[in-house]
Every structure is written in structure tokens, then in C-alpha cells.
Structure 1
Amino acid sequence: MRVFISHAWEDKPLALALAQLPDFVDVWVDVRELLGGQTLDPTIVRAIEDSHVFIVLVSRTALAKAWVAKEVDWALAREAQKDRVFVLPVLIEPGIDLRSCAPPFAAFAERLFIDASDTREAGLDKSRAAIGRTLFHWASDWLDQMEPRGDSDRRFVEALEHDLIGFQTRLFAVQAALAWPLATLVQDEALAHLVTVKDEYNRFTEAFIPRLKTMEDPIRWRFGPPAQKGLARLSTFILNEVYHGAAFALNDAIESVNAYEPVLSRDPAALAEADARRAARVGALKPVMDELVERTADYVDTLKT
């Protein structure tokens, strides 16, 4: 579990002391002093974004620091995006009334916080234990929600691969069905097959495309930012070049099938033109599908290794 600790520079010694957490916790503590007017630099943003939990050490000094407030603001926005608990306030100074604090710290008045104001060694041990227990319980809750059956990364990758291949297989079936000339496609058996594979493709993509758009956070959680960026590139290709691109263009051929009886069968020139468009649409899909197969295989291999 990766944890970011936000704190005032003056509280650095206590931040480092509290950072001595159980082995399952990987703590990020910034060792630089930031200027009061400085905006969040990319290093800080990446460190917060790549963390599972954001801990903020609340002291009267921290409450007066503009950059600590900026980090908390960013972390609370990240928490809302994640739709799960992400920010853990830790009070390191006694007598602070969170309800009377200015935003964004006032938001902590109605949530779980840990009192770590006893800075004696015994108090620090107690505070570290409380933080460790909280992080362990949070991690357990997330695993129960994300993997109620204890699914492994291997099963996760297998399910993703199954979906990606399922998308390809159904689109290949539509492509193959439309490879026949229009005069053949309108025959009963060929038309029934086309309707079947088209309906199967549509049913599958109705679930697959929205699911694909939500996969980046689980990928980041399991395999890290590089894998998340790889999925983003693959998803962009699927959505733009395949689903909304070459695959969507096949609708023109399907419209020609629907127009065959009332229009095209009576107009040889129009039929020849429509058949040429159908062949072009099907031909244009082939290199896109070849690239999709290659990209999918390469990406899945990176997750398996």
C-alpha cells in the first residue's frame, strides 16, 4: 500500500517518526521545503495520484500553510473521483477543533481521524499502531469490494483478455458476414446470419465499451501507472479507430442491405456503387483489426510478465 504524508515543514521530524509503519505500507514523505505561494509541482501531484492513501498531519502550523491546504484540496478531489475513502487526517497537536478550522480542513470534523498528539515514544508507538490498523482495515475493505472471491491478478488479466478477444471475435464475425456481395447478403440464410452476428456484436459492446472506460483505476491499483497508461492507449485505439471508426463505418454496408429490395435491386449502377463501398469498408477494417490483435496481445503480455 502506497501512502503519501502531507505535513508542514516544521513538523518534518514527527512526519518521519510516524512514517515508520508496518512493512505492507510504502510511505512517501517529501524531504523538500516548499514556498508558501508555490503551486503543487508535478512531483507532488504524481506522488499523491500514485498513492492509495493520503495522510495529512494536522497541527496549528500546518493549518496556516497554503501548500498543505492545496495538497488537501487536491486529495479531497481525488477522493471524490475514487468514490472511496482516501484521506486520513492525523492530529499531531492537542486542542485543535476541526469544526472551527477554515476549509478544506473543516471537512475533517465529520470523519474518522487519528489523535497522534502524544509525541512521547510510547505515544508515537500507539499512534503508529493506530494508523497501521486503520490502513489494514481500509485495505481489507477495498479487497472485499474489488475482489470478493479473492481473485488474483492472474484471473483479472484472464478476464480482461477474454473481453478483448470477445470483442475481436464478434467483430471478425460481422466483417466475414459482410464480405459477401450485396446480392448474396440479402438471401434468407446469409441475411439471417448477418442479423445474428450483428446483434451479438451490439449486445457485447453495450457492456464491454462502458466497462473498458472504467478499467484504468483497477489497472493502476494492481499493476501501476505504466500499465494504466498502456491501457489508456489501447482503449483510445479501440474507441476511436475501431468502435467509432472502421467498425462503425460498416453500418453503411448494412444500410445498403436494407436498401437492396426497395432501391438497389432496381438500379444496377447504384447497386454497383453500394457494393464497391461495402467492399471498401470491409477492406478498410482489416488492417485496423490486425493492429488491434497485435496491440491486445502485446498489452496482455505486459500484464502477465
Structure 2
Amino acid sequence: MDRLDAMNVFTRIVEARSFTQVASDLGLPRSTLTDAIKRLEDRLGVSLLHRTTRVVRPTLDGEDFYRRCLSILSEMEDAESAFSGAKPKGKLRVHVHGILARHFLLPTLPDFLARFPDIEIQIGEGDRLVELVREGVDCVLRVGAPADSDLIIRKLTSLEEVTCASPAYLDRFGTPQTLTALDGHQMVGFRSTAAGTVLPLEFIQRGERKTVTLPTPVTVTSADTLVECARLGLGLIQKPRYSSADDLASGRLIEVLSNTPPPSSPVSILYPRARHQSPRVRAFIDWAERAFTAA
């Protein structure tokens, strides 16, 4: 068994948490897999796996090596596919903003998988900063202006944002007509795990971006909780119009300061330069772009 085969065996054992299952899947004796992992560990000079009678799991070194193996094996698959003309295949690891994905991407995911049946998508959710290469992630979908990065950034669309609050809040604090009327108001704080800070309210006034920070009786890290707090009358919030439509139509939330709207938020896909020629990543990006255009 050469090094690439051993790396493939190692990644499958990590994912299955079992020597026996992988041996059965590959039609190989369990001892062959054990020997392959032992040779890998001897060559690297580290222990890659914790083995018990019930489960197999990677050590810290094993987790790091696993991610590196994924990157190498992915590059090999992509190189072979590029020359053979084969359809994209293999695992595609993406990290997305959950609400965004559920609204724009998931409705057409069955069509994507029907077109590319040999691609297996693993979706992680959140807005934290992801170290794509180290974590073995192929691409991330993000809202907001990406920070300077060595990653390739492909903008998909821009999302219109609204400022809103509940009727109960507006009855208590009044409905602001101008930015100066925000004195005495409060907001529900949203702490971005990516930025590590509470985001201010932002407005476009006569073509210029203005930021306003108000008292925050409650600070949250979840978009769903942000909206629920606004419904309960705890403060002003800003959120994408697409995800506010039901609340605005039902009257649970009311738009304010529409003459000075928040700036639109760009939606982008970021991926390492090494993934630029990956058939899997190209297929996913092209599909995501169509999904946002059609929505």
C-alpha cells in the first residue's frame, strides 16, 4: 500500500471511527489497515489514532494530519478529473451562514445532487472565521464585506437590509423619523463571532455611511434570537429584508427610517487559490450563483 492509499485509508478510518467497517467497505483484511496505519505513524513519528475496544478517534496530531490528507487527496482527485473529463465527484466541505443557506441554497440542493450524484456535501454552519486549508474546508459562504485575505472572493449578490422594531417597542420609545431622533432609543446587540464585537446600526444618509451605537440591554450571537428579542420589544434591529418579509407583513415588526436605509450586505463565496481548478468547487459556486440569481 503506497502513501496515498494509506492516507485514504487513514481518512476513512477517522470518519468511520472503525477499522472493521473500513476493512469491510474496502474488502481488505483488518490487519492490512492496522499495518498501514502503523507504518504511517512510524514514518511521521507520532501517534495518529486513539484505539479502544469501542471506538477509534484521532489524536491531536491525527486531526491535523487528517485535514492535510483531505487537502492532498482532494487535489489528486481534481487533477485526475481535469484530465479525464470525468464529472465532479468526492466530498465537498462547505461552511455557510445557516439562515442564508436554508433560504437560498437548500431549496435547490436536490437538483444539484441529482446533477452531480458523485458529490457528497458536508455543510457546516456559523459565521466564525474558518481556516479553510487547516480545517479541510473547500469554501465558505459569507455575508458582509470580507476582510483582506489570500482567499479568492467571488461575490454572488447583495442583500437589502431593513431597520425594524416591534409595535410595543415603538409605542414605548416612539417611531424615529431621523437619525438624530435615535437619542433615547436602544438596540438589540448582535455580537458577531467573526468580528468579535457588537455590530453598530448602519445607515446611508445622502450617500454617506453613518454608524450609530445605542444602549444594548440584551446582546445575542444568534440571528434567530436577535429577531425574537425584537419581537418582544427589546430594541431596534437590522436584518435582511428577505428574512423579514413575514414579520413585516404580519405586523410583528415595523420598518423604520426607510429614508435612511442600512447599506446592502454583499454575499460572497471564499475559497483557497489551490481550489481554483477544483471541479467540485466550480460546480458548487456556479450552482450557488444561479440559486441566488433565481431567488
The verdict on a shared fold, with TM-score over 0.5 as the criterion, is no
TM-score, length basis structure 1:
0.25
Bigger proportion of residues as helix: 1
Higher relative contact order (CA 8 A, sep 6+): 2
Q: Which of structures 1 and 2 has the bigger CA Rg? A: 1
Tell me the TM-score normalised to structure 2 length.
0.25
Identify the structure with the greater strand proportion: 2
